[in-house]
């Protein structure tokens, strides 16, 4: 086999990143783009872990029909049954069962013997096999387990019906040489290994996730598990775009292909960054803002003479827009739609109408509208939250000799207009306090970041706010040329998510 199966776990392991919280519609949006990107398997969630995950898995299973739709399950009969319930509507369903395999996990966490683990692994794979053929098994913390024991587990689960066996470096501990030795050991010591696909799943705690994954592939793994932008638990997972572009750019070395349409990478990466609210560091390989920028005079000179002097990849091959066409307030709906299509967005008529209205309002304030401005506008359209309260008006007064004061007006659940005012330590604090006086739902603001979308004093400001309520994080985003307005939008967005999760009720409702 010279094709590597790309297994994307952005919606499962990626969603385990601290501060991540997507609703089912946003997950569906990402799954649709992963489909366009050409991934072979999408791991869409862990249905037994929460009702939200269960709902999202069911929805994506129904809607996204080409790739394999995989759902994670713990090695527990109730969880396996529930996972099947969630994923059974998929055209190509897969259940992925995991169970710890290292002595560290067995003695300190599970308090089980190696024999117990072997027995449970066999039983759970056999149970899933009653429902479907496509079953993946992962011995968790495999890289800190004894290799001979991993061989035994793999032989047992393949015998019970597992068709993919995945080797997780759960805590990002292994090194490239050690990991390829383990993979080679598996290929030579597990007698029935040819009946299954061998897979690698690496975490990035030592910054080695991509290197370890590529080593596994080099010695024979034919599935790799990764996430867009490398998001995931702690330091994250192996980054999909880095693995795919390494295989493509160094085809001379690896001799392997993937089914990925690399021109969709940029769009995919931006979507994940926007919806998760995780900015991309400028020097991030492949998709960072500086990844194709040449600063030094010698490099610029070389690139102008022939790009190959300092560029190993063509930026267009990862879908970085090359257009210099800039839209302005005179641009019509047609030009706007065309530009969106070039950037890879297809919006419904309703969403297009709304986005175009936003474009016109913004174009009145800015001379030129760049691709990043347009992406920021579209991101607002994609933030699908049921609006319990709508921000209708915000006004602040502040300065070095006045008390920051905000007045806000919201449209409430029954269409009533609700206004209030508050003082704060600064204008944003005052706005949030005024909103809280109306909505009245306890929450703690845990993160507030502002970034400018483009250079220039008239740039759009994007604000990201995370709030916490009863241990759950809700992320809100807002964009405007006025950062106080952007902050108000972001705070309302986070509160609406919190209210939607609680079924739309607030303290204000109970007081009324
Ligand atoms: O890192 C890990 O061990 C996992 C498993 C559930 C595969 O994510
Ligand atoms: Zn993982």
Q: Are strands 461-469 and 472-480 parallel, antiparallel or unpaired?
A: antiparallel
Q: Is the pTM of this model over 0.75?
A: yes
* Average pLDDT for 179-197: 98
461 lines ligand 1 (CB under 6 A): no
The larger pLDDT score, comparing residue 336 to residue 145, is at 145
* Average pLDDT for 195-216: 98
Whose alpha carbon is nearest atom 6 of ligand 1? 98
The larger pLDDT score, comparing residue 390 to residue 347, is at 390
Q: Which pLDDT score, from 0 to 100, does residue 383 have?
A: 65
Answer yes or no: is pLDDT of 511 > 50.
Answer: no
- Helix or strand holding residue 394 (H, E): strand 390-397
3-state secondary structure of 269: helix
Contact 235, 281 (CB under 8 A): no
Which ligand does the CA of 140 lie closest to?
1
Which ligand does the CA of 167 lie closest to?
1
- Residue 283 corresponds to which tokens in the numbers above? 């020097």
Q: Which pLDDT score, from 0 to 100, does residue 371 have?
A: 79
Q: How far is the CA of 169 from the centre of ligand 1 (A)?
A: 8
Q: How far is the CA of 471 from the centre of ligand 2 (A)?
A: 22
Question: How does the average pLDDT of the chain come out, rounded?
Answer: 92
Answer yes or no: is pLDDT of 29 > 60.
Answer: yes
Q: Which pLDDT score, from 0 to 100, does residue 17 have?
A: 93
Q: How far is the CA of 170 from the centre of ligand 1 (A)?
A: 6
Position in ligand 1 atom list of the atom nearest CA 13: 8
Q: How far is the CA of 227 from the centre of ligand 2 (A)?
A: 10
**DSSP classification of residue 94:** E
383 lines ligand 1 (CB under 6 A): no
Q: How far is the CA of 232 from the centre of ligand 1 (A)?
A: 10
* Confidence bin at 409 (pLDDT 50/70/90): very high
The larger pLDDT score, comparing residue 360 to residue 40, is at 40
Answer yes or no: is pLDDT of 151 > 50.
Answer: yes
What's the CA gap between 3 and 257, in Å, rounded? 5
Q: How far is the CA of 368 from the centre of ligand 1 (A)?
A: 46
Q: What is the CA radius of gyration of the chain?
A: 25
Answer yes or no: is pLDDT of 366 > 60.
Answer: yes
Q: Which pLDDT score, from 0 to 100, does residue 324 have?
A: 52
Q: How far is the CA of 506 from the centre of ligand 2 (A)?
A: 36
Of the candidates 264, 269, 248, 256, the residue with the CA atom closest to the CA atom of residue 223: 256
* Confidence bin at 325 (pLDDT 50/70/90): low
Contact 43, 96 (CB under 8 A): yes
Whose alpha carbon is nearest atom 3 of ligand 1? 170
* Confidence bin at 510 (pLDDT 50/70/90): very low
* Average pLDDT for 217-232: 98
Poorest-confidence range of 22-31, 175-184, 307-316, 457-466?
A: 457-466
* Confidence bin at 509 (pLDDT 50/70/90): very low
12 lines ligand 1 (CB under 6 A): no
Answer yes or no: is pLDDT of 83 > 50.
Answer: yes
Q: How far is the CA of 140 from the centre of ligand 1 (A)?
A: 6
Position in ligand 1 atom list of the atom nearest CA 225: 7
Answer yes or no: is pLDDT of 508 > 60.
Answer: no
* Average pLDDT for 144-171: 98
Q: Hey, which of 121, 201, 212 would you mutate to test ligand 1's pocket, going by the most ligand atoms within 8 Å of its Cβ?
A: 201
What's the CA gap between 264 and 228, in Å, rounded? 12
Answer yes or no: is pLDDT of 414 > 60.
Answer: yes
Position in ligand 1 atom list of the atom nearest CA 166: 7
Position in ligand 1 atom list of the atom nearest CA 203: 1
Answer yes or no: is pLDDT of 341 > 90.
Answer: no
Answer yes or no: is pLDDT of 379 > 80.
Answer: no
13 lines ligand 1 (CB under 6 A): yes
Residue partners of 10: CB distance under 8 A and separation at least 6? 30, 34, 227, 228, 231, 240, 272
- Residue 179 corresponds to which tokens in the numbers above? 């990991």
* Confidence bin at 504 (pLDDT 50/70/90): low
Cα diameter, the chain: 78
Q: Hey, which of 138, 167, 171 would you mutate to test ligand 1's pocket, going by the most ligand atoms within 8 Å of its Cβ?
A: 138
Poorest-confidence range of 13-27, 47-61, 345-359?
A: 345-359
Phi, psi angles (nearest 5°) of residue 294: -110, 120
Q: How far is the CA of 235 from the centre of ligand 1 (A)?
A: 14
Length of the chain in terms of residues written? 512
* Average pLDDT for 41-55: 96
What's the CA gap between 353 and 345, in Å, rounded? 14
* Confidence bin at 384 (pLDDT 50/70/90): low
* DSSP3 helix / strand / coil % (the chain, rounded to 5): 45, 20, 35
Position in ligand 1 atom list of the atom nearest CA 138: 7
98 lines ligand 1 (CB under 6 A): yes
- Helix or strand holding residue 445 (H, E): strand 444-452
| Other Cβ atoms closer than 10 A to 454 | 15
Q: How far is the CA of 267 from the centre of ligand 2 (A)?
A: 24
Question: Percent of the chain, pLDDT > 90?
Answer: 73
The larger pLDDT score, comparing residue 295 to residue 183, is at 183
Contact 478, 500 (CB under 8 A): no
Q: How far is the CA of 72 from the centre of ligand 1 (A)?
A: 9
138 lines ligand 1 (CB under 6 A): yes
Contact 476, 491 (CB under 8 A): yes
Contact 213, 223 (CB under 8 A): no
* Average pLDDT for 406-418: 96
What's the CA gap between 269 and 14, in Å, rounded? 13
* Average pLDDT for 295-312: 88
Q: Which pLDDT score, from 0 to 100, does residue 451 have?
A: 87
- Residue 109 corresponds to which tokens in the numbers above? 């966490």
Answer yes or no: is pLDDT of 507 > 50.
Answer: no
* Average pLDDT for 30-47: 98
Distances (CA, A) of 93 to 62, 69, 78: 10, 5, 18
* N-term to C-term CA, the chain: 66
Whose alpha carbon is nearest atom 2 of ligand 1? 170
What's the CA gap between 158 and 424, in Å, rounded? 62
Distances (CA, A) of 494 to 11, 15, 125: 20, 17, 40
Query: For the segment 99-134, what is each residue's pLDDT rounded down to a tens digit?
Result: 999 999 999 999 999 999 999 999 999 999 999 999
Q: Hey, which of 43, 140, 141, 212 would you mutate to test ligand 1's pocket, going by the most ligand atoms within 8 Å of its Cβ?
A: 140
Whose alpha carbon is nearest atom 1 of ligand 1? 170
* Confidence bin at 323 (pLDDT 50/70/90): low
Q: How far is the CA of 275 from the centre of ligand 1 (A)?
A: 23
168 lines ligand 1 (CB under 6 A): yes
């Amino acid at each position: 086999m010279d094709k590597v199966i790309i297994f994307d776990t952005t919606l499962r392991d990626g969603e385990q990143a601290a501060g991540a919280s997507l609703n089912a519609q946003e997950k569906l949006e990402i799954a649709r783009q992963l489909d366009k990107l050409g991934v072979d398997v999408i791991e869409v969630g862990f249905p037994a872990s929460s009702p939200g995950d269960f709902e999202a898995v069911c929805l994506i299973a129904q809607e996204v029909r080409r790739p394999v739709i995989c759902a994670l399950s713990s090695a527990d009969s109730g969880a396996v049954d529930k996972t099947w319930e969630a994923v059974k509507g998929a055209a190509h369903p897969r259940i992925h069962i995991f169970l710890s395999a290292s002595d560290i996990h067995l003695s300190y966490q599970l308090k089980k013997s190696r024999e117990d683990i072997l027995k449970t692994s066999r039983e759970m794979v056999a149970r899933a096999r009653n429902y479907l053929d496509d079953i993946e098994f992962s011995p968790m913390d495999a890289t800190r387990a004894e290799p001979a024991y991993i061989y035994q587990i793999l032989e047992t689960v393949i015998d019970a019906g597992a068709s993919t066996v995945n080797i997780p470096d759960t805590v990002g501990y292994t090194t490239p040489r050690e990991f390829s030795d383990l993979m080679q050991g598996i290929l030579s010591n597990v007698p029935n290994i040819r009946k299954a696909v061998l897979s690698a799943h690496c975490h990035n705690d030592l910054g080695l996730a991509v290197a370890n994954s590529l080593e596994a592939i080099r010695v024979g793994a034919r599935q790799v598990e990764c996430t867009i932008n490398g998001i995931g638990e702690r330091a994250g997972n192996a980054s999909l775009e880095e693995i795919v572009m390494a295989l493509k750019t160094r085809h001379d070395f690896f001799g392997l292909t993937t089914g990925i349409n690399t021109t969709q990478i940029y769009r995919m990466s931006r979507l994940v960054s926007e919806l998760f609210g995780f900015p991309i560091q400028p020097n991030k390989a492949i998709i960072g803002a500086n990844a194709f920028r040449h600063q030094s005079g010698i490099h610029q000179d070389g690139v102008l003479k022939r790009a190959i002097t300092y560029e190993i990849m063509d930026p267009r091959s990862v879908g970085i827009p090359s257009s210099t066409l800039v839209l302005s307030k005179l641009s019509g709906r047609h030009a706007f739609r065309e530009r969106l299509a070039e950037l890879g967005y297809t919006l419904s008529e309703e969403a297009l109408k709304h986005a175009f209205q936003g474009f016109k309002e913004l174009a009145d304030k800015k001379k030129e509208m760049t691709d990043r401005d347009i992406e920021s506008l579209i991101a607002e359209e994609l933030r699908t939250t049921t609006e319990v309260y709508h921000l209708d008006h915000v006004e602040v007064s502040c300065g070095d000799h006045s008390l920051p004061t905000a007045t806000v007006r919201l449209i409430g659940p029954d269409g009533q207009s609700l206004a209030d005012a508050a003082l704060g330590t600064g204008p944003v604090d005052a706005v949030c306090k005024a909103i809280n006086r109306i909505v009245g739902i306890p929450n703690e603001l845990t993160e507030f970041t502002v970034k400018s979308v483009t250079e220039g004093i008239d740039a759009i400001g994007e604000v990201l706010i995370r709030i916490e309520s009863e241990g759950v994080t809700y992320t809100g985003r807002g964009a405007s040329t006025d950062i106080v307005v952007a902050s108000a939008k972001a705070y309302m967005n986070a509160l609406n998510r919190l209210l939607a999760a609680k079924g739309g009720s607030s303290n204000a409702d109970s007081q009324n």
